[in-house]
Each structure stands twice: as C-alpha cells, then as structure tokens.
C-alpha cells in the first residue's frame, strides 16, 4: 500500500471539507520572511553538539545526522555521566560507520561536568545546532546559553516542569525570535503526516463539532518512574539525575514525560488549550520504591467552550494496557493515534462505533517516521532561513500537562491562569549546580522523599 491517505468517498471532495486555515503548518513552521540568513558557514556544513547523551539525545543526534539536504556532522558531546557519553558516541558512530566525517568528536570535544553544556556549545559557530536532551529541569539554563551563542536549537520535551520555568522560557524565547534562531521542540507528533491530515479533516468538520476527547498511556513500569532507594556511597544529586523520571524537580515526573505527547496531540485536534482541570490519582504497589510519582492518574480537562478532555495514565504491571488518543464529534469519531507514537494509523469512523463497516477514512501505510520528519523540517528551515520556532507551543503543552499533574497531586481544581501564575518553583538556583552541590530535593531520615498528599498539601505539589 502506498503512503497516501485513502477515503471511500471521492478524493475530489477533499478540498471541500478541509478548512483553509493552514494551522498545521502554523503550529510548527511559519512562512519564510525577509529574516537574515542565520547559518553562514563558509562550507555550508551544519555542526551539531549533543547536550544530554541518554537514549533520547542519542536518537535525536542520529536523526539529525540522517537529514540529507546538505553536509551535517556531530562535533561535540556533553553529559554529567561519562558512561552515558561513551555509550552514546559508540551508538551514533556505529549508525554512521560507513559515512566518514559524520561523527567527529575526539576526546578534546567530549565534556563531562555540570558546565559541560557551555564547553560543547563553545565548539559551535553561530547558526550551528545544539541538541538539548538533558532532563527538562535544565532546559531554560541551556536555552539561555544557546541564545547567547546565537545557536539554533532542538530541545526535547517537556520544555518546563512548573509555572515559573514556563514563564521564564517563554520570556527567553522572545530573545531567540529577535535573533531569528530556529528552535524545534521534540513533540514529533506534530510533524506526523497522518495526524496532520487528520487535523485538517477534523477542522474541516468531517466528524462534526468536537464534544469530547480522550487519551491514554497505560502500561507497566516505564523509564525510571519507579525507583528504589539510593545506593550507599552514591551522590544524592547524581542518583536523582540518573533516575530523573522519579523526581518532579527534574522531569515533572511520569505525567510530564509520558503523557505530554497524548495531551499535546489531543489539544491540537481541538485547536485549543484547556482552561482548567481536576484530577485524581494514587500510589498503590510501591514496595521499596522511593520516587515521587503516583501509579495512576485520571484527569478531566475543560476547554473554554465546555468541551471535555479525559486523560488516563498508569504505570502498573498486570493491568490492561492502552496507548492511544481519540476525538469524538457530533457526526463521527477519530482515532488520533493507535498504539504508541508511530505509526499513528489515524482514521475516522462514521458515528461512535469504531467498526470497520463505519470506516470513513484512514491514512495509508507505511507512514513516514515523525522523529525523522521533525529534523528534516528543522534543518530545511535553517538552510532556507525560514522562520521556525516551536517553543511557545512546547511551553503550552508542558504547562497544560503540569497543571493536570498538579490537580491530581493536590486534589484541587487548577486553572491555566493559576498554573501560569503559580510561584512554586521546584528547583530554584538550578543554574548554579555543580557536581558537589546538594540536591534540590532531600530525602528524610528514612531515605524517602516528600510525596504529594492530595487534600492535605493543597497549594503546592509536595512539602520540601
């Protein structure tokens, strides 16, 4: 089957129901303007530095080097763990072992420390690209230096973990725009061709008026969301960074890191952000785990027009699994994503029963990989000097996800306005951390960390 959408009805009618909003493109990329050329290297080679050499950073670097619209190479790497950097360099080098010069990171351009990000970015020239793939707590710190150096940026999601850092990164982004820097955010579902066509069809009215959305990421233990006690002799700070999914100050916890894609793609189909949320959740089979996460989350978001969006998250073995997003309208329903992030297998049904007999449209398979598409789009924007900045949208997806988490952790209804104005910053002063610094979060005498207590601790997510 070719990689094209298929519709039982005539393709000629497509233009009749697709609203000419151009919103898909506007969500990620804006039309070229008379902005000055950003990347002006004499040899037209785009140099890349990787800051944060875990699995996602390694994958992003491989995608970057796979873009085939001109010369591009990896020249510097940075992490706080030597073993992460060593493993990442080996994996990236193996991926391009037949392409000489793609990976050019000798020992003198491998940096390990809390200020390693600066050293890696110092290797680059203005207009080159830095990948920011550390835990999101450090995103605004590293973004600040990238802006100062005049670098284009790819930053992993989420981009913030709380209200204060969301406001801060949106302020920083104004400077990035002033410098005409291209900035991508790793919400790759927005670059998925199947979802993009589904969005156009939904906005064109194919499922009627949207009256309900829902999404789920229910699986067993994921990432480092559940982590055991700190080993004896290990630095508190480095232990928490190594298990960053388990600590809210580093990652926003399981909700922020795992549910943000489903929340973002579902809000995208609504073409809006919700204004409030209430939620529930709980810790169940914890055993010796000491992280701050709940095992399950159930969130009810409300948009300004009253439309509801239900989000379910669970990291518990032995339970029913589902990893999918849906939109329900007055005329039909849409499957936004089917299982995991790709392939989306987006489709539309007449009515509310997802039965083959009711299938009205589905995107053909195979689908292009959105992880590669987001890099193709970024590098094309750099070479063509097109306006390209995804930070504001990434920040909104991050804060909306965080407000659902906060509603569950406090047991209170949280509005978007309250979340944006909230003063509790999980890790103030994070830009001054060194390898010898105390961790922003401290364990009690029993080795356990403060956890959310809904209905008891109401004004912030935990007492520190």
Domains of the chain, CATH where assigned: 46-189 (3.40.50.720), 190-367+393-432 (3.30.360.10)
Average pLDDT over every residue of 24-43:
42
For residue 21, pLDDT beyond 60 = no
Average pLDDT over every residue of 196-206:
98
For residue 12, pLDDT beyond 50 = no
16-20, 199-203, 293-297: least confidently modelled range: 16-20
Cα–Cα distance list, 297 to 335, 437, 451 (Å): 22, 33, 15
**β-strand pairing of 276-282 with 308-315:** unpaired
Which tops the pLDDT comparison, 15 or 447? 447
Band the pLDDT of 464: cuts 50, 70, 90: confident
Q: Which of 177, 61, 80, 156 is nearest to 119 (CA)?
A: 80
For residue 48, pLDDT beyond 70 = yes
For residue 19, pLDDT beyond 70 = no
Band the pLDDT of 203: cuts 50, 70, 90: very high
Instruction: Tell me if the pTM is above 0.85.
Output: yes
pLDDT per residue as tens digits for the range 151-167? 999 999 999 999 999 99
Instruction: Quote the pLDDT of residue 27.
Output: 36
Q: Calculate the average pLDDT of the chain.
A: 91
**What are the backbone dihedrals phi and psi of residue 253, each rounded to the nearest 5 degrees, phi first?**
80, -170
For residue 99, pLDDT beyond 80 = yes
CB atoms within 10 A of CB 283: 15
For residue 40, pLDDT beyond 80 = no
Instruction: Quote the pLDDT of residue 15.
Output: 31
Which tops the pLDDT comparison, 28 or 154? 154
Average pLDDT over every residue of 263-281:
98
pLDDT per residue as tens digits for the range 53-62? 999 999 999 9
4-8, 74-78, 321-325, 405-409: least confidently modelled range: 4-8
CA distance 313 to 188: 20
Which secondary-structure segment (H or E) carries 280? strand 276-282
Q: Which of 329, 214, 227 is nearest to 274 (CA)?
A: 214
For residue 1, pLDDT beyond 90 = no
For residue 32, pLDDT beyond 90 = no
For residue 358, pLDDT beyond 90 = yes
CA distance 413 to 274: 13
Instruction: Quote the pLDDT of residue 39.
Output: 53
14-18, 112-116, 140-144: least confidently modelled range: 14-18
Question: Which tokens go with 61?
Answer: 């670097």
Instruction: Quote the pLDDT of residue 42.
Output: 56
Q: Which of 135, 235, 236, 220 is nearest to 448 (CA)?
A: 236
Percent over 70 (pLDDT), the chain? 91
For residue 47, pLDDT beyond 60 = yes
Contact status, residue 413 vs residue 210, Cβ threshold 8 Å: no
pLDDT per residue as tens digits for the range 366-397? 999 999 999 999 999 999 999 999 999 999 99
Band the pLDDT of 117: cuts 50, 70, 90: very high
For residue 292, pLDDT beyond 70 = yes
- CA 285 and chain centroid, separation: 28
Average pLDDT over every residue of 95-120:
97
CA distance 235 to 435: 9
For residue 78, pLDDT beyond 60 = yes
- Both ends of the chain: CA-CA distance in Å? 56
Band the pLDDT of 43: cuts 50, 70, 90: confident
Instruction: Quote the pLDDT of residue 285.
Output: 86
7-16, 112-121, 268-277, 367-376: least confidently modelled range: 7-16
**β-strand pairing of 359-363 with 5-6:** antiparallel
């Amino acid at each position: 089957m070719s990689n094209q959408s298929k519709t039982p009805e005539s393709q000629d009618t497509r233009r009749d129901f697709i609203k000419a909003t151009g919103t898909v493109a506007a969500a990620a990329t804006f039309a070229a303007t008379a902005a000055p050329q950003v990347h002006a290297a004499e040899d037209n080679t785009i140099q890349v530095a990787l800051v944060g050499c875990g699995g996602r950073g390694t994958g992003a670097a491989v995608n970057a080097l796979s873009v085939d619209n001109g010369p591009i190479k990896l020249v510097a790497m940075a992490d706080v763990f030597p073993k992460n950097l060593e493993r990442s360099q080996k994996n990236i080098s193996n991926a391009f072992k037949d392409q000489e010069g793609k990976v050019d990171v000798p020992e003198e351009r491998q940096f390990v420390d809390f200020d390693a990000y600066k050293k890696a970015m110092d290797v680059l020239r203005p207009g080159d690209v830095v990948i920011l793939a550390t835990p999101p707590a450090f995103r605004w710190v590293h973004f600040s230096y990238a802006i100062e150096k005049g670098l284009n940026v790819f930053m992993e999601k989420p981009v913030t973990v709380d209200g204060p850092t969301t406001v801060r990164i949106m302020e920083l982004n104004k400077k990035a725009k002033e410098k005409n820097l291209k900035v991508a955010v790793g919400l790759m579902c927005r670059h998925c061709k199947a979802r993009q066509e589904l969005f156009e069809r939904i906005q064109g009215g194919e499922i009627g008026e949207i009256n309900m959305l829902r999404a789920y990421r229910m699986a067993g233990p994921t990432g480092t969301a559940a982590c055991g006690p700190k080993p004896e002799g290990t630095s508190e700070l480095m232990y928490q960074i190594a298990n960053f999914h388990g600590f809210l100050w580093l990652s926003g916890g399981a909700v922020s890191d795992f549910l943000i894609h489903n929340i973002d793609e579902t809000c995208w189909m609504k073409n809006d952000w919700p204004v409030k949320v209430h939620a529930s959740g709980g810790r169940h089979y914890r055993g010796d785990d000491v992280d701050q996460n709940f095992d399950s989350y159930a969130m009810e978001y409300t948009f300004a027009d009253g439309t509801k969006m239900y989000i379910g998250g669970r990291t518990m073995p032995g339970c029913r699994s589902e990893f999918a997003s849906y939109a329900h309208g007055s005329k039909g329903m849409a499957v936004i994503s089917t299982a995991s992030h790709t392939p989306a297998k987006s489709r539309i049904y007449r009515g509310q029963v997802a039965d083959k007999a009711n299938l009205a449209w589905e995107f053909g398979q195979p689908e292009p990989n959105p992880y590669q598409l987001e890099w193709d789009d970024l590098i094309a924007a750099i070479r063509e000097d097109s306006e390209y900045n995804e930070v504001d949208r990434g920040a909104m997806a991050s804060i909306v996800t965080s407000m659902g988490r906060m509603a569950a952790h406090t047991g209170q209804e949280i509005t978007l306005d309250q979340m944006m104005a909230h003063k509790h910053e999980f890790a103030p002063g994070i830009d001054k951390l060194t390898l010898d610094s105390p961790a922003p979060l401290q364990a009690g005498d029993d080795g356990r960390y403060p956890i959310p207590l809904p209905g008891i601790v109401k004004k912030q997510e935990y007492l520190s």
